[in-house]
Structure 1
Amino acid sequence: MPSRAERNLLIESNLPLVGYLAAETHSRATHIPRDELAAVGALALVTAADAFDPALGVPFGAYARRRILGAFADEMRSMDWASRGIRKRIKETVAVRETLTAGLGRTATPTEVATAMGVTKDVVVEALGDAARTVTTLDDPAARDVATEIPLPEESALVGERRDILEQAVAALPERMRRIVQAVYFDERPVKEIAEELGVTHSAVSQQRSEAIRLLRDALDRYFAEGAAPTTTTRVSAGARDAYFSRIADASSPRIADIFREAAPA
């Protein structure tokens, strides 16, 4: 187990993770106060630091992330008011609305949804209202796609674009960094195993992982920046960073590509 000083350092250095996960969860469940999620997440981070065993070879960030999301799921389950029957009705109504919306090229009205389902308009309006406040647990595979409000087509396109930029940013990482990020954060493999596979030290893997995260942060900051260019966090050279932005631009949609070509002049 870590010493008290090591435990405190783990907590202090990973507090931004709590804020990020609380914000991401709150964006999908806006009726849950963000400060409540942050409090639950902070407590989970502390307990994760107390229980963490470095000998297992699992990065603390990945371990803490699972504990924090688990705490969020428990909190959301405790607040969930929707019965199985209500959830079934919501799911059916939303599915019909999305199908009609896709076919019509615009958001289907409650009357159109009601006609397609063979129910009254009031039933549809009530179901859609419930959909706007239903709490979905984080361990539900469908949770990633549930919003507290049913998105309009243009809103769905924006969400898809944001997801696309993260995928492109990971794919554009230098080969070794990309392999490490994939292994640590997606495959959840021990750092020791990754180091042996790559023929490098545990420390080298950790350093590459940290630099990869800084590059991803710079890419996301660039995409969401408004006005002045954001502060750079990566430690690679300006040329290497610009080459990274160029790779993202080459593999992305025209709108995203324009943003990164501006950030990486020839």
Structure 2
Amino acid sequence: MVDRAERNRLVEANLPLVGYLASDLHARATHVPKEELASVGALALVTAADAFDPSLGVPFGAYARRRILGAFADEMRSMDWASRGIRKRIKEVTAVRETLTAAFGRTATADEIATTMGLPRADVVEALADAGRTVTTIDDESVLDIAADIPFPEESAELRARRDVLTRAVAALPERMRAIVQAIYIEERPVKDVAEELGVSHSAVSQQRSEAIRLLRDALDRFFSDGDTPVEVTSRVSPATRDAYFDRIESGGDAASAREPAASA
């Protein structure tokens, strides 16, 4: 956990992210007041700062972003007017209506839908009326799917290109390194848990993580160097292993057949 001064610093530094995420999500789901999203997001940011543990090796920005988006999802679900049962009935009725409409070459009537489904006509009419209401469908994943598409505010064409290369660079890592990076930075799992799962020591996981980060840094320098400044190599693998890694990134291939690299002396 962080002390109060550090917590306050983290909150102040990341408040603009709350506003950006709230504005972007409001633009995609206009029935949700932006002010409410901002309030919910600010509270989530504070609780994230309180719970943040730097020793886990997860960047605070990524950790806070997930907590904020999760809070947005909870808020949107709490505002949803329809239960799961109602949404299930709407989905079933509209599916039958579309099937009958395609078969008849005209819009199916409520009576025809009711007869096909074996339901009272009143239930079908009610479901069709509910289907016509302009409300964002919210289930376990839909809100998070919307939120996951929100880019960071500073994202630009160059940053998108960097993220694309970084995605390919992670995929091209040797298998164990890739698993460690995904577990720690994407799944946000503690190093201790990853070590236990892999059957290795905490220090071994930390060493592999550090070397993976060095390789990723070398990859970004390799593909985004301005050409005027010499690229400083930070990874400790042999030049041949490093070049093979860069080749896999360029080809878009993964490291399924790559061996774990041995650090060069």
**Relative CO higher for 1 or 2, CA cutoff 8 Å, sep ≥ 6?**
2
For normalisation by structure 1, the TM-score amounts to 0.49
For normalisation by structure 2, the TM-score amounts to 0.49
Larger radius of gyration: 2
Give 1 or 2: higher helix fraction.
Answer: 1
